Amino acid sequence: MKKGCIINLGISIKGSNEFLKRASGFLSARNNFSQKNFLECFFILDEIKKREAEELAEVKKVQYNSRNIYIVKYQEKIVDLYMNKKYGYLKISKQIKLDHNILIPKSTIERFIKTNNLDEERKNGKS
């Protein structure tokens, strides 16, 4: 399959090979290659796109260092409040208490942020 076709489908080369195999199996099971049957096999393409999007999101998910189970559980929220909303340590602690009824001390949030160099990233403007 040419690369331009793959880009138009919006899936990877591996995904396009899977699509072709599954679509050919779907069409051969029908024993009738018609335009209607061909268009029906595009549900396979949607499944592949969703799976690849989930895999990409999982890869992009950043893992931060912490042994605290609450920090690990709410790390995305803490990073978002610190980096995007520019909250301080105490305000993040209060916001998590309001949203999730979990008390994470200010010092724990401060240690998490400094351990993972988020304070340096915020100073340099990387959001």
Spatial CA neighbour of 87 closest among 109, 115, 116:
109
Q: How far apart are CA 78 and CA 108, in angstroms?
A: 11
> Six-digit token pair at 1?
């399959």
Contact 101, 95 (CB under 8 A): no
Read off φ and ψ for residue 74, nearest 5 degrees. Answer: -110, 25
Label residue 92 by pLDDT band (50, 70, 90).
Answer: very high
pTM here is 0.53
Label residue 59 by pLDDT band (50, 70, 90).
Answer: low
**Residue extents of the structural domains in the chain:** 3-60, 69-124
Cα distances (angstroms) measured from residue 88 to each of 30, 39, 91, 95 = 61, 53, 5, 10
